[in-house]
Amino acid sequence: LERHAGSPFRLCCVNGGAALPGEQTLTTTGQPSDTRFQNGHARLLLYPHTTPNMAAERKHVAQLKSELYFLIARFLEAGPCQDAAETLIREVQEKELLPKRTDWTGKEHPGSYENLVKLYKHISSDHLLQLCERVSPLLEREVPASVPGVNSLLGTGRQSVLRTNKSCKHVVWKGSALAALHCGRPPEPPVIYGSPPNIVETLYSRRLNGSYRLGQLVPTAVYQHMKMHKRILGHLSSVYCITFDRTGRRIFTGSDDCLVKIWATDDGRLLATLRGHAAEISDMAVSFENTLLAAGSCDKMIRVWCLQTCAPLAVLEGHAASITSLQFSPLCSGSKRFLSSTGADGTICFWQWDACTLKFGQRPSKFIERPRPGVQMICSSFSAGGMFLATGSTDHIIRVYYFGGGQPEKISELESHTDKVDSIQFSHSGDRFVSGSRDGTARIWQLQQQDWRSILLDMASKLPGKYNPPPLEDKVTKLKVTMVAWDCNDSTVITAANNLTLKVWNSYTGNLIHVLMGHEDEVFVLEPHPFDSRVLFSAGHDGNAIVWDLTRGVKIRSYFNMIEGQGHGAVFDCKCSPDGQHFACTDSHGHLLIFGFGSSSRFDKIADQMFFHTDYRPLIRDAHNFVLDEQTQQAPHLMPPPFLVDVDGNPHPPRYQRLVPGREDCREEQLIPQMGLTSSGLNQVVSQQAAEGSSPLDSMIQRLQQEQDQRLGSDTRTNRVSSPPNVGLRRSGQIEGVRQMHSNAPRSEIATERDLVAWSRRVLVPELSPAVASKQEIWRTAKGEEEINIYRSERRRRSLHSQYLRENRHAIESSSEEGRRHQGNQHNYHTRLAVEETSRQSETNEEEYSASEGETEARPPSRESSDEEKEETKEPWPDENSSSSDYSSDYSDWTADAGINLEPPKKTSVKKKKNKNASSSEEDGEKKKDLKKERRKEKMDKDGALPKKKKPKEKRKRIPELQNQGLTLEEWLPSPWITDTVPRRCPFAPQMGDEVYYFRQGHEAYVEMAKKNKILSINPKKQPWHKLELREQELLKIVGIKYEVGLPTLCCVKLAFLDPDTGKLTGGSFSIKYHDMPDVIDFLVLRQQFDNARQRNWMIGDRFRAVIDDAWWFGTIESQEPFQAEYPDSLFQCYNVWSVLFFPEELGLSMPLTEQEQKALLYKSLEGEWGSRTRNQECERIIKGINQLCTLDVAVPFELPVDLQAYPTYCTVVAYVTDLSTIRQRLANRFYRRMSSLMWEVRYIEHNAQTFNEPGAFIVKTAKFVSDLMLQFIK
């Protein structure tokens, strides 16, 4: 083969062009060719195969090369390599490698470097560097690198700049690679691989090398095969609690319908219903021996059942409010065990019980952790060995208890969080724990030198160098941690935040590893796999249950809980079985969802709705709060096997009845229940058909018992326990279904003594095998000893460290002492009521314990808002420079022309959020909300996720009982500053539309006094003078007012800047929160009063009189000087005065203001503030209208103030109490300064009714009618 310069290829064919023997003849197509003879040899000329596309591509490449030469020369010319730049420029010009120029005729000419620099002036010397910097981020979006954030032009593989999707495809991982060990261990899998090795090859390789990795034998792709076996409707209300027993064979669910149910994991059968609670189930726990189940409730009680027989063993009463968390301690000390419980009353109880006798002590070790009223203990977690317990509470403090001495003792109080701590979890190793707070951070704590040091996990963190699409950055005003969890190896910590993301952190360094996105609503459930550290289960209010691969940060499988005809059901809890074969979820509609591997054929044999016909029968209670079935007078666990019914109370066919424990061997006729009629005419299950061989004695006993019941009916009814409240009914018609099956049903289910013996031998939940139980106890004991050694060693290290510091004269105090001292300084609150906590505690027997029993030092109470919904959605203090603060009134959309047209702000159209977990009536509904419902209530009615429910008149929110919190009714009542009906100059009572002067110095004095007296938890950095440039005094207008329930009641005022010349709003605003405090001067003064005072032009020596507490005081002005040197122009307290005695002196007492003097001091209404009429004319007209309105029946509930003796919790929900008589009295006293202020208060009649009662209730509709009628009349 020859090629001449500038000529086509030549193929020489010997022997006249004929192919030699054994050679192939070459043929060409697509290009012309010819044959020439030279020197007797034939030459076949082959022209190169050229197409227009190839030519264009070569031209494009040449163009890029020439431009690259130019950019390199520009880069070198501006750098230190000047000689190299000159050489390169000279050579590229000599060899014509630079981009060519084109003349006007279209001919190309070689370009010079200087001309190119002038031509491309926009090309800087570092243009090439900028191109290189832009390549990596753009490539990261298309083909992510294996190590995010590492940008290099020299990388290879997946870090190469030349990588493509094809080059980064999954590596084929052959199973044969597992047959050999590398350094005695199975080989590591490739970083990126496609399909995992065949399971047959993997198992064979394990036989050869005798070892394997879990990731090799069970790749995460296996979890894609988990499917939903069954969704079972078993409760009439939302189910917030679910847990497995220690074997994984049983599932326990606790619901708002006050029931705990036991289910079979393998086939989904309903095995038993545990009755006894009178309020919603808040938490459940199973003992480590698998013998006990404890359930806490909003009825303030803990009930403990034996899992083998379902017999109630104990009813523990030590809390004065709802139970928020329950934990069985892993501690093993002979047969001594502990059960811990936290409550909304701010206490934690440790109940000691015996593992051999299953008996509980009557009195717990109790710690009262309530530095101020309203503080609640929310969450708790034991360490793996049971030596440590960490708790979180609403006062931002984490408390750690130690059991090394045999009894619990508090060793630390950690105050790093700035908001409530509502999630906490110890690691599986037991030496660390993670806490999550509403302040948007989580912390990983570890004991070092007897000081708990923490690693901060900030939810605002992002992955370095990686594209982080903000899921809800613009919508979420404040990040909050909703749940925390560890993986099973404790190498990573997973957090869920309210911006709908899950974040995976390195637990040792605190570095962010992955950001998991897939949920569309808040996530409150994080459940790690019990032994596979790569897998995590998450569930949230969006109805999604997602399986995650934590190693790669990707989603393995997701499930959507769609309910036909009812939208999706929010998933409220999720647990994984100990063997990892199943996980189960519960939702807002009362369903149990069971997931797992393999076939679902066993679950196809059960019904979709499973209730026992005895589930909602009324109970009676004895003196110790143990319960009996009202109809049979028997303990629920000793009653005959019940019948399976659907949600409407209709019995299932006999094939389903055989699934009930105790009915497996019944004859066909015994599986058909006897039906009766309820009072409403519906069918109900009464009993089973009488067996042919039944004893005549049984029927006689039944007849005699019925006659006795008729004689003692009245006495029986007095001891009756009301059936669970009709909360969360799924459909309006179902109130007549399974809930009404107890109405007037004859009692024909008395068990014989022979039956009782047989049923008492039933084992519903098996115990752990002795070998397994012994092995686990040995492991827990070893972990406990390890934790004791860690605690003692760290204490010794602390002692040595302290000794060294003392020798160097730098001694420091231990962290625990600092924490206690800091808390004593920070939380020793005082209130104006001056009611000591100890005086209230002495009224209850439960708290009469000595300090040795764990009772903490009593502290004076302080303000803590009991409005749970406000605690959920608001920060302790508003963002005071925001013009759209959430702390302003619902009617704060005041416009610039509001003062002209006199139209007060209209009601907002924002849909009120509902809490479906309300009580059954207004009188008996003061139930405390628990932690789980507190974190889930925001989802109750969002996007139609919950079914339409028929409810009686109820309160919207769960509210605390005064008695439960240890508070008196007087403490919750608003101060006279808010409830007063007589207008006063001091203290200033804000009204909508007021034009006021704001004195910064007075506000600062208020903040300092509040901090000094420990009345409020104030963040000074959030005060308006830190965010806005405020003058000494500012002219403002009140455009929003809202009151907050608490101790004391707070007034939230939104203030808008006002132009003093034009009287129009300038656009800026901020919010403040304050209350009337003794010895603190008003820092808001009406503009009218301020202007009148300035017009007097006070001089030194002038005598004056002032009104203080409705009495005249005399004084003399001695001097005039700034109150503070840094504010020389401020008029705040600029006069020094000399106070003398009351006037007149001979009376010895103050002289009260006369009626004429009070009227003279009133605000003088401006023109137009009362419309076309005068203030007196309008007030009299409206008073007559109110009198006429009160004659209507519809206005009777609102005519007088609410009876707080009948409704003691009203003042814990409603902050601003008002009614028609109060409004009428204020009108008579000319309390309102303008008509819009009156209309604002009239709207509060409807607002208060909506706040206290259930939405849609008749009283709410009536309040709206009365309010609208009043507003129409006023206009």
pLDDT at 601 over 80: yes
Alpha carbons within 13 angstroms on the beta-carbon side of residue 913 total 13
pLDDT at 353 over 90: yes
Across the strands, what pairs with 1108? 1111
Provide mean pLDDT across the span 887-911. 37
Q: Which pLDDT score, from 0 to 100, does residue 238 have?
A: 93
Provide the total of helices (H) and of strands (E) in the chain, helices listed first: 26, 55
Report d(CA 304, CA 355) in Å as an integer. 13
Q: Is 117 helix (H, G, I), strand (E, B) or coil?
A: helix
Contact 69, 92 (CB under 8 A): yes
Phi, psi of 1146 (to 5 degrees): -70, -20
Mean pLDDT score across all residues of the chain:
75
pLDDT at 853 over 50: no
Report d(CA 339, CA 331) in Å as an integer. 10
Q: What is the H or E stretch that residue 800 is in?
A: helix 770-807
Q: Is 1241 helix (H, G, I), strand (E, B) or coil?
A: helix
Q: Cα dihedral angle (106, 109, 115, 121), rounded to 10 degrees?
A: 50
pLDDT at 894 over 60: no
Report d(CA 614, CA 742) in Å as an integer. 8
Q: Which pLDDT score, from 0 to 100, does residue 408 have?
A: 93
Q: Which of 26-40, 370-384, 503-517, 877-891 has the highest mean pLDDT?
A: 503-517
Of 1212, 1205, 889, nearest to 1047 by C-alpha is: 1212
Contact 461, 475 (CB under 8 A): no
Q: Which pLDDT score, from 0 to 100, does residue 867 have?
A: 36
* Domains of the chain by start residue, with CATH: 2-46 (no CATH), 175-217 (no CATH), 638-658+669-750 (no CATH), 875-889+978-1160 (no CATH), 1167-1274 (1.20.920.10)
Across the strands, what pairs with 270? 263
Lowest mean pLDDT among 121-125, 429-433, 491-495, 714-718: 714-718
Using H for helix, E for strand and C for coil, what is the string for 880-949? Answer: CCCCCCCCCCCCCCCCCCHHHHCCCCCCCCCCCCCCCCCCCCCCCCCCCCCHHHHHHHHHCCHHHCCCCC
- Dump pLDDT digits (tens) for 628-677: 988 888 889 888 888 999 998 889 888 888 888 888 778 777 777 766 55
Q: Which pLDDT score, from 0 to 100, does residue 971 have?
A: 66
Report d(CA 384, CA 783) in Å as an integer. 6
Q: Which pLDDT score, from 0 to 100, does residue 746 have?
A: 43
Q: Which pLDDT score, from 0 to 100, does residue 976 have?
A: 82
DSSP structural state of residue 372: S
Q: Is 297 helix (H, G, I), strand (E, B) or coil?
A: strand
Report d(CA 538, CA 631) in Å as an integer. 43
Provide DSSP, 28-72: --SS-EEEEEETTEEEEEE-----HHHHHHHHHHHHHHHHHHHHH
Q: What is the H or E stretch that residue 121 is in?
A: none
Q: Scanning the structure block, which residue is given the tokens 């299953």?
A: 358
Q: Measure the CA angle with vertex 970, ends 967 and 976; round to 5°.
A: 140
C-beta neighbour count of 71 within 10 angstroms = 17
- Dump pLDDT digits (tens) for 201-212: 777 777 777 766
Structure tokens at 211: 């070892």
- Dump pLDDT digits (tens) for 1213-1238: 888 899 999 999 999 988 999 999 99
More confident residue, 467 or 546: 546
- Dump pLDDT digits (tens) for 182-203: 777 777 666 556 566 677 777 7
Which amino acid does the sequence have at 487?
A: D
DSSP structural state of residue 681: S
Q: What is the H or E stretch that residue 1095 is in?
A: helix 1087-1095
Structure tokens at 1083: 């820092």
871: confidence class by pLDDT, cuts 50, 70, 90: very low
Provide mean pLDDT across the span 377-401. 94
Q: Is 214 helix (H, G, I), strand (E, B) or coil?
A: helix
- Dump pLDDT digits (tens) for 706-750: 554 554 444 444 344 444 443 333 433 333 455 554 444 444 455
Phi, psi of 1216 (to 5 degrees): -115, 100
pLDDT at 409 over 50: yes
Contact 1007, 1018 (CB under 8 A): yes
What are the residues whose beta carbons fall under 8 Å from the beta carbon of 1004, sequence distance 6 or more?
1023, 1025
- Dump pLDDT digits (tens) for 746-784: 444 555 565 555 555 667 888 888 899 999 999 999 999
Q: Which pLDDT score, from 0 to 100, does residue 173 have?
A: 65
- Dump pLDDT digits (tens) for 1122-1135: 887 777 777 887 87
588: confidence class by pLDDT, cuts 50, 70, 90: very high
End-to-end CA distance of the chain: give it in Å, rounded.
Answer: 107
